[in-house]
Structure 1
């Protein structure tokens, strides 16, 4: 059986992506949740089961095979199951999906740093920096293009829920947490992602967690 090591569901956006990927694969797996940044974390992250990723989560074990980084986990699982479960079959759609997923993996630093993940909070709308507005404009523009070109017949970027939606799911939670301004079409997409059963399960689990990390909480 697969084993997935993740961090707090309320705060760990990368863990969310890895977990959604395993759920999307429909393969059975053992889930190990580690409370990040607690006093014991500095010792815990040095354990053998986290050694391949130098203590980073998510980390997927398949027997003695270790896979970390969300996109690597997605592609590893896509190789184990029907790849169309993760990536569109059409070559143009697949190329676009891979490109925007990689851009998500590497970019949008203003949004990440100024609006840290906190999936169990809802804050009133506040000031949004020009840098975050630029990130949101780029993201929602990509969403609109994906939906227009490839998303007919479904609520998600490429029709059915897929890898690109997994990669952007934590962005959707940030938009909800901080009531960030996005176009109406993007709001509809966010609603579909938040209602997706795997995403809803993750958010419900995060809401029940006992751990609070102060640096990710706003006064």
Structure 2
């Protein structure tokens, strides 16, 4: 059976991506939540299960194979099951989906910094930095293009739920946590993601977690 090691569900955006990727595979897996930054965090990260990842989560163990990094987990499971569970069948759509997933993986540093993931908070609207606003414009542009060009088959970015939705799911939660004003089409997509049963399951579990990381409890101030 697969074994997935994740961090706090309330705070760990990359863990959410890895967990959704495993759920999308349809394969049974053991889930192990390791609370981040508690007194045992450094000791745990030195253990054998963490060693290949450099002490980061999520980590997927598949027998003797270890896969870390959320996008790598997506690709491993796509190879193991059915690539069309994760990526569009149409070649043109697939090219765009891969590009969007990779951009999400490597970009939007300002949004990540100013608006850290916290599923137990709802902050009132506030002025975001110019850099964050520019990143939001880019995200909305990508969402609009994907929906217009390739979203006819359903309510997700490329019609059916897949890797791109997995990669953007934590961004959706940030929009809710920080009360970000959304264009109508983006608000509809946010509602679609939040309504997904797996997202509801993750949210419910996050509310039950006993751990609190103080540095994630208050938003960063806009520059």
User: TM tier, shorter chain?
Assistant: over 0.9
Provide the C-alpha distance between the structure 2 equivalents of 1:201 and 1:121, rounded to a whole number of angstroms. Answer: 17
Counterpart of 2:156?
156
Segments of 4+ in structure 1 off by > 2 A?
none
Report the Cα distance in structure 2 between the residues aligned to 1:155 and 1:200, rounded to whole angstroms: 17
CA distance in 2, matches of 1:165, 1:18: 12
- Asked whether 1:73 is paired with 2:67, we answer no
| Deviations 1:95-131 (CA, angstroms, capped at 9, x unpaired) | 0000000000000011000011101211111111111
- Tell me the equivalent position of 2:34: 34
Asked if 2 retains the 8 angstrom alpha-carbon contact of 1:14 and 1:70, the reply is yes
Where in structure 2 are the equivalents of 1:42-121 lying within 5 Å? 42-121=42-121
Question: Distance in 2 between the 1:48 and 1:83 partners?
Answer: 30
Q: Does residue 188 of the first structure (1) align with residue 188 of the second (2)?
A: yes
- Measured in 1, the distance between the counterparts of 2:142 and 2:178 equals 21
Q: How many residues align?
A: 219
- Which residue in 2 is equivalent to 1:211? 211
* Uncovered stretches (5+) of structure 1, i.e. residues with no partner: none
Length-normalised TM-score, structure 1:
0.99
2: CA distance, partners of 1:211 / 1:170? 19
The secondary structure found in structure 1 opposite 2:127 is: coil
Partner of 1:123: 123
Q: Which sections of structure 2, spanning at least 5 residues, go unmatched?
A: none
Per the alignment, residue 19 of structure 2 pairs with 19
For 2:27 and 2:120, locate their aligned partners in 1 and report how far apart those are by CA, in whole Å: 27
Q: Which moved more, 1:2-11 or 1:202-211?
A: 202-211
Q: 1: distance between equivalents of 2:127 and 2:54?
A: 36
Structure 2: distance between partners of 1:199 and 1:93 = 24
Give matches, 1:139-178, under 5 Å.
139-178=139-178
